[in-house]
Amino acid sequence: MIKKLTLLTLLLFSLSIYCQEKDPIKDYKHYIENEQVISENKEPAHASFTSFASKENALKNNPQFHKSLNGTWKFNWVKNPKDRPTQFMKSNYDDSNWGNIKVPSNWEVEGFGIPIYVNHQYEFTDYKAMIADDMELIDRIYPKNPGDVPDNYNPVGTYRRDFTIDKVWDDKEIFLHIGAMKAGGFVWLNGEYIGYSQGSKLPSEFNITKAAKTEKNTIAIQIFRWTDGSYLECQDFWRISGIERDVFIYAQPKTRIQDFEVVSTLDKTYENGVFSLDVDIKNHSPKSENISVSYELSRDGKVVSSEEKKIQATKSSSTSTNFEAMIPNVKPWSAEHPDLYSLIIETKDKKGNIIEITNRKIGFRSVEIKNGLLLVNGQRITLKGVNAHEVDPETGHVMSEELIKKDIQLWKENNINAVRLAHYPRGRHFYELCDEYGIYVVDEANIESHGMYYGKYSLAKVASWENAHVDRMVRMVERDKNHPSVIIWSMGNEAGNGINFYEGYKAIKANDKTKRPVQYERPYKDDDGSLYDMDWNTDIIVPQYPSPARFEEIGKSKTDRPYIPSEYAHAMGNSTGNFQDYWDIIEQYDNLQGGFIWDWVDQSIWKTNENGERYYAYGGDYGKNMPSDNTFLNNGIVFPDRTPQPALYEVKKAHEFINFKHKGINRHDELRVLVENLYDFTNLNQFNFKAEIKADGKVLQTINIDTISTEEHTGKLIRIPLKGITIEDNTEYFVHLSTTTKEVWGVLPKGFEVAREQLSLTSKFKQVKTELEEGLKLNISENQSRITISNKTLNIVFDKNKGRITSYNFNGTELLKDGKGLKPNFWRAMTDNDFGNKMQNKNIAWKRASLEFKVSNVDYKTLENEAISMTVSYNLPGVETTFVSNYTINGNGVIHIENILNETPYEGDIPRIGMRLQIPKSYEKLSYFGRGPHENYQDRKASAFVDLYTSKVSEQYVPYIRPQDNGYKTDSRWISLSDENNNGLLFVSGSKNYLSFSALHMENEDFDTTSGLDYKNSDKSKHTIDIKEKDLVQLNIDLGQRGLAGDDSWYSKPMEKYQFKGNQKHSYSFYMIPFENKTTDDFIRLNKAYHNHN
């Protein structure tokens, strides 16, 4: 291992010489505007570990020589380097007029400076430098002098604090560890310059032995917001600064464990463990020492291997020793079963006295690519992954261990088995938790030069930037090499391809004895994005944002490498449409081995307005005239506080490791179900299976299914008896299948549901037409502006000019709010994806049709059964077609509405086909039989089963950070809204096309910020605090909406099958039924009567 580090050590040494005799105060630009100066006096990278003085302390994780420097520091912030303090490093410097700051923290979040969010541009560079007028546009967008940072605005944060060192630390080597420092910083101790570092997502460690003193010490750190290193940190996240991870000092003996590398793989049978341990010993003393080095490997307290070797630790240098062993019948590590072994490394002096001990958990697992497939422990695996940024809405980029655990818990609960660390390594504890709980990790180097793009200006092609690229990759590998959870190295993201990534690939392969696969998402030979012309420096094909059709094309054509998109299913706002479509395709082809959703969590941070209201802020909410990409950082499937968004339930469903397939009902009245085991290392016998048979949402029978013993990647046919069920006409029957854990499984408790399915039995049973109650005879009167229809219990007023009912009075109760009865609606409050695919331009005529429709004709007649039939025709401007509504009004108050949208020459798909009305806010109780309980749309409903749901209108709002359409439900047979006395309105689907609906205490307009044809609120509804409940229920009763889409958020529309096209006629119908003192059983009965009447 010593030999392996030689190249990196020489590199750092050469850089140290290069920096000699430079004053970090006067010559600061030599450091922060020089891509070849990446550090000074920094320790070589090494595996993360803790030094202990005894085995007892190691087992208790109680290091004696470790001191945290987290907490309150004195802090000075200035806008410009010229205004920064320059004598602050002196121990007697007066910092009494400075402020205070928490460490770790981001100083912008703590109130110093302005948080900036941009996606792929550099927030600090001059894009307006003088260039030739005839230069092509593509050449105009690049920074003209990469490496330069601004003088006029480059904030500098200066930190100071005192600490003490106990006398017992004497005669030891003392090190300072700064977990993450953004973007570049200088360090002093007791007035003595210690060193410089950049590369903000890996530790900076310095040997401070010579400068440290017993008792009081003063540490001073000066950090620049931007350095040349910032050109490699152009990631899609908040551009904020400071000390973002733990700061501590630690001490080791003069003859110390410097580094160690564990290679713990499996042999060719994948049954026995192959163990190799390299230990580097650094002797800081001026004479050689005879010592012993030993290891002990155990599992569950039982030692499975151990060995001791005597070596001579050469004076003032490093010495390496190696151990090897075979461990028979090893328990392998995988994300499903993260079995770990305890490793203890111990050094002793020649008398047998303990010098130093360290320990860590290791796992035996192999990672390899064979025949174009990614294998773990010899098994083809599927990565059901997310991209995850390091973010907390309270603290910015600073995450507590509790929040990290919460993320992992949620991943495990929702069938997410992998994470890509976008786009930088995490802190040490993250990997330890992934080792323990079982998450596959793609560890990514902190490299993204997106603002230089991918062509001739890409920094990947500039030789002077090679060291800056390779150093970040190698340091990541050296620190994280011993974690079994890390199965893939990623060289970076969106930084072009060229010599620096060729050299990076070779350096990673040279430094990782485990030989993990290396990936990079942009290794195209000709920068053309062709998956069929991939360069050699990636072991996995990891493109971004392929559509389901692209997945299928790749699956059919095969590939010479695994196909695992590094980013797909862009989840911005109300998104993640057609996610089940992705997985229906992925599960068909071996070379399609999953992908990583962009991304896990919305990145907004809390901000408080002048009224004391907290809200989630995004780009543009801080400062004036600052660069911003607005809300493009909110692409999560959970909100910033980790509250699940509806999309998460869809992800869990699509990611399930168990499939249930309907195989028909046999002659013995048994439902045949094929149960497929998609786990890679788990037999289904560790789960309980249960079936519930439901009729119209009511449980008829619960069946506990015998244990299903099925090996991974196989299936078994089971039979569910149906003989005990009495079949009724006009009734829908479903079988609900549920799989739960038999015992505690990692973070999952006993009885936790890991998979579920709903299978319909309705096709077996009859639907019979029923007769309807007609009610009292109706009277009708008309004047120039309105038609009134009434009897003793009913009074309906229809406004002929508005084309809508303005009063609907049943038994003396007005059912409408402010006269706002049903009217046509073809528009929805635009989602983030709608904005991305330019619905505001391509489909805007449908908004005009909704706002400016004209009533062209109103006809009515009395039917044979004394009901009144009234037909209303609307001309729809902009789309050049008509919408026709036929109201059949019965004497019992029931209104049957039949709608037809005729064909149109307008090319834009129809965002929505439906009607809207408002009813009193008191109708708060919501019941329905349809898909739920969470929000769902036609292309995101696999996880929302058809069932009987009872809720409240006030619980339907989904607070997307930028307000947009929300709270929708599809495939509803009936919907009821009622007050506390169980009086209200029931809506029953009257055709094969079930209803889709939303019911909120806000109007559609409150969520719509479309410019043009706006609602005078385009500047008002930008955050959740702009959304207030109103004294109403806004009800949308629709045939449906276009899908949400989700391939990306800047181009792609919903898939064709999830669009409503104008080149055909669309029709649907429903009944509107007033009721008093009715229950769910009454609604079911009325649905049987009305839904099946036609």
Active site residues: 494, 567
**How would you class 281 by CB atoms within 10 Å of its CB: exposed for 0-12, middle for 13-18, buried for 19 or more?**
buried
Report yes or no: 887 and 1013 within 8 Å, Cβ to Cβ: no
Question: How many Å apart are CA 808 and CA 814, to the nearest integer?
Answer: 6
Q: What is the amino acid identity at position 705? A: I
Question: How many Å apart are CA 620 and CA 613, to the nearest integer?
Answer: 18
Q: What is the amino acid identity at position 894? A: V
Which stretches within 481-565 are classed as H helix? 499-511, 548-557
345: helix, strand or coil? strand
The phi and psi torsions of 305 (rounded to 5 degrees) equal -165, 145
242 phi-psi bin (left φ>0, alpha ψ -120 to 50, beta other): left
Report yes or no: 239 and 117 within 8 Å, Cβ to Cβ: yes
Report yes or no: 422 and 388 within 8 Å, Cβ to Cβ: yes
From the list 917, 953, 923, the residue with the least C-alpha distance to 1075 is: 923
Q: Give bridge partners of residue 601 from the DSSP assignment.
A: 638
Which stretches within 81-153 are classed as H helix? 137-140
Report yes or no: 51 and 252 within 8 Å, Cβ to Cβ: yes
Read off the DSSP letter of residue 1057: G
24: helix, strand or coil? coil
Quick one: CA dihedral 349, 351, 356, 362, positive or negative? positive
Q: Which residue has the tokens 């509803």?
A: 972
Report yes or no: 1077 and 983 within 8 Å, Cβ to Cβ: yes
Q: Which residue has the tokens 């090190």?
A: 175
Q: Which residue has the tokens 């050590």?
A: 9
Other C-beta atoms lying within 10 Å of the C-beta of residue 252: 21
From the list 388, 370, 387, the residue with the least C-alpha distance to 379 is: 370
Write out the two tokens for 923. Answer: 């109708």
Length of the chain equals 1094
DSSP 751-799: T-EEEEEEEE-GGGS---------BSPPEEEE-SSEEEEE-SSEEEEEE
Question: How many Å apart are CA 385 and CA 365, to the nearest integer?
Answer: 19
Question: How many Å apart are CA 95 and CA 172, to the nearest integer?
Answer: 31
Other C-beta atoms lying within 10 Å of the C-beta of residue 763: 8
Cα atoms found within 13 Å of the Cα of residue 78, Cβ hemisphere only:
15
Tell me which H or E stretch contains 120. Answer: none
Q: What angle do CA 1056, 1058, 1059 make, to 5 degrees?
A: 70
Question: How many Å apart are CA 794 and CA 971, to the nearest integer?
Answer: 30
Instruction: Cis check for the bond before 721: say yes or no (omega within 30 of 0).
Output: no
Report yes or no: 825 and 874 within 8 Å, Cβ to Cβ: no
1002: helix, strand or coil? coil
Q: Which residue has the tokens 């990278």?
A: 45
End-to-end CA distance of the chain: 79
Report yes or no: 447 and 426 within 8 Å, Cβ to Cβ: no
Quick one: CA dihedral 965, 969, 975, 978, positive or negative? negative
**Radius of gyration from C-alpha coordinates of the chain:** 33
